[in-house]
Amino acid sequence: MSMSENLSRNTVRRDQAAVMKVDLQCEKNNTDHHTNEITVERLIIRRGQAFSLILSAERLDQNDIQITAETGPGACEQKGTLSSCSTDPQRCSSVGKCWSVKVLSGSPSAVTLSVLCPADACIGLYSLTVKSGSYTSVSALTVLFNPWSKDDGVFLESEAERQEYVMNEQGIVYQGVDEYITTTNWDFGQFEEDILDICLKLLDVNPKCLKDAAEDYSARCNPIYVSRVVSAMINSDDDKGVLMGQWDGTYIGGVLPSNWNSSVDILRRWIKYDCYPVKFGQCWVFAAVMCTVLRCLGIPCRVVTNYQSAHDTDQNLVIDEYFSDYGVRPKPNLDSVWNYHVWVEGWMKRPDLSQDSFYDGWQVLDPTPQERSSGSYCCGPAPVKAILEGHTDVKYDIPFVYGEVNADKITWLVMANGSKKKILSDTKTVGQKISTKAVGSDSRQDITDQYKHPEGSVKERAVYDEAVKRVTGLIESQTPRPSVQMKLSLDGEPLNGADIRLKLLVKSENSKAQDLTLKMSAQVMRYTGTPAADVWSNTADLQLQPNTEQTLPFELPFTAYGPNLLDNNCIKVSVIAMNKSDPKEVYLAEKDVVPHSPTLKVTVSGTPLQDSEMNAEVVFENPLPSPLKNCSVTLTGSGLLKQTEQSSTVELGPGQRITLRVTFKPYRLGPKKLVANFDCSTFRDIKASVDVNVRPAATRLGFLSFRR
């Protein structure tokens, strides 16, 4: 049984003839503290901000009211988990994290108090004991971080940014490839009433708390500590974490990562099955769930996507990539370049690193289990400013994150005899179009310049060389520019379900003619940069004259790639050109292609008023001349739907439609979003969304109803 279940809102201990009532002013306080979106039925406050209480009894002494706040097992003043304050200053605690109370107004039978929770208080569930004479009342309240308080380590000055990074329950996750960025609308749902309790449970079952609960509760005053714990607890690799990762394409016994639309569904499933990990997640799912938890706890958070993201396991800031005449080869080590990787940033001060606030601000936190940090699968908080300046000796995990956005990529050709030839050293590809949702709109904000100086600039190379020296003590040499340049490009929009047209530009920068053999191939790729299936190959000859260029068009048939396409829809097309007269002269062109999925339509009808009936309709039509199997549609949306709605699974013939109709009543005010998902065996997880801006409903008497 939880503390909140053990504590009544105003349990009073005295003789039965006398009673003191404590009005927690939940609706007023929660509204003032920006927590009324969660509930107004219990007290939820933010630290560093006062809240009011009203005491009522037959006789109250305004100068003899004592309040004690305590959280966690073995609460004590020395650990900052217990504090006593009084309307009599002589009876207040003398140590840090001290709460305070003052009388706002009063009479012999009723007193209104203002209670201030300090800005460095531990977050979590508290018991609040109020004493006056022989009266005693015990209540429960929850304390969260406060981005509105200048004294809090998570203070964020801009109200627009607070609304986006703390209050917004919907967001966007960017996927695809850097040349074709796709968007996935996500329902964070941090204010669904049960989510706060789930987030606090997540803190309670983390290994540090299980080992020493008193120390863990004491450390919950620090957003650096809390965010690092959350980073470890979102994945389940070495604890009772929320999500189990899966990247090999087999998802038996679980949900495809691309099928998720909502953190709420995942967190509720985790708590329903007694903290057993939910199957399955990949990087964007881990990041989106972590964003929900941090926003719920009061830490400003945003989801960030890094395209062409390096996974530098040996942390030498160099990624080796291997090709043969049939395309990408499996790697002898675990280094890789992912099409994209998603993490979160949390906003907080870093007094542990410097006293001049240089490292304050956005911090990278990555819950995807990739490498251990201090023995746990977590990453960060890593100051974005440290990444920008190549300060790889700063806590936490800077070399790994720096490599994700700045590593150099070296491409090798593996010969038939197993020997390797270095054909390209690329200093620019890794770390492209680092993206997050813009404040107050659904547009994409490019934040690459916050992570790295302009590619190829003197500053960028100087920072890279300094980072390499700090990590390895070496400086990487560069490969000369090849005499033949090749580039692959699309010839028209690539559509999933149709042949894909491409063209190869071959340009000579050589004074001699060359007779080339072109070996073209296509592979279905996992988004982690590893090949899943070889789907197409072809060979052609090309006579390239000195200092000229030629364009060769070709097609990738749907019959080749369609049956093998994975949920990320990514195909790597590569061309290797070999000089027939000199096999050592080898050239490479490669391109990631993401075919566009068919359209999913979602619409709403009715007036968007709180508690007023509305209708939603989701429709998908099969565009192919062949049947689609295992077709289903889901619809979710915090503040609009209490739970995810799902259609039955059907087969769709050519031109047939699947339709999901839902009647619902919006239950929270403000901008909301319905997120729809269509899934079948051929087209995996097509997304669509529609905005619903919920307004207050007028009552019959003409007043406004603001129930939340």
26 belongs to the catalytic site: no
User: Which of these, 628, 632, 637, lies nearest to 678 by C-alpha position?
Assistant: 632
Out of 33, 34, 341, 391, the active site residue is: 341
Residue that the structure tokens 């429960």 belong to: 140
DSSP class of residue 563?
A: G
Out of 117, 199, 275, 283, the active site residue is: 283
Region for residue 62 given its phi and psi (left: phi exceeds 0; alpha: psi -120 to 50; beta: otherwise): alpha
DSSP class of residue 333?
A: S
- Yes or no: say if 502 and 591 are a contact pair by the CB < 8 Å rule: yes
Instruction: Copy the structure tokens of residue 36.
Output: 């009324």
- Yes or no: say if 132 and 64 are a contact pair by the CB < 8 Å rule: yes
Give the SS3 label for residue 56: strand
How long, in residues, is the chain? 708
Instruction: Copy the structure tokens of residue 188.
Output: 């964070």
341 belongs to the catalytic site: yes
- Check the annotation: does 58 bind a ligand: no
Q: Which stretches of 6-149 are assigned E, i.e. beta strand?
A: 11-12, 21-23, 43-46, 50-56, 65-70, 82-86, 100-107, 110-116, 124-132, 135-144
**Cα–Cα distance measured from residue 397 to residue 382, given in angstroms and rounded to the nearest whole number:** 6
Instruction: Copy the structure tokens of residue 658.
Output: 């699947």
Q: What is the largest CA-CA distance in the chain?
A: 107
User: Which of these, 77, 71, 70, 69, lies nearest to 51 by C-alpha position?
Assistant: 69
- Yes or no: say if 26 and 42 are a contact pair by the CB < 8 Å rule: yes
Residue 6: Cβ within 10 Å count: 11
DSSP states along 345-374: EEEE--TTT-SSSTT-EEEEE--S--S-BT
**Cα–Cα distance measured from residue 133 to residue 87, given in angstroms and rounded to the nearest whole number:** 12
Out of 366, 567, 592, 685, the active site residue is: 366
DSSP states along 198-261: HHHHHHHTSHHHHH-HHHHHHHTT-HHHHHHHHHHHHB-SSSS-SEEE--SS--TTS--GGG--
Instruction: Copy the structure tokens of residue 308.
Output: 């062409």
- Yes or no: say if 304 and 344 are a contact pair by the CB < 8 Å rule: yes
User: Which of these, 48, 14, 44, 39, lies nearest to 29 by C-alpha position?
Assistant: 44
Residue 615: Cβ within 10 Å count: 12
User: Which of these, 522, 533, 596, 558, lies nearest to 248 by C-alpha position?
Assistant: 533
596 belongs to the catalytic site: no
**Cα–Cα distance measured from residue 557 to residue 537, given in angstroms and rounded to the nearest whole number:** 11
**Cα–Cα distance measured from residue 553 to residue 557, given in angstroms and rounded to the nearest whole number:** 13
DSSP run (H or E) holding 434: strand 432-437
- Check the annotation: does 404 bind a ligand: no
Residues contributing to the annotated binding site: 406, 408, 455, 460
Residues contributing to the annotated binding site for Ca(2+): 406, 408, 455, 460
Q: Provide the annotated active-site residues.
A: 283, 341, 366
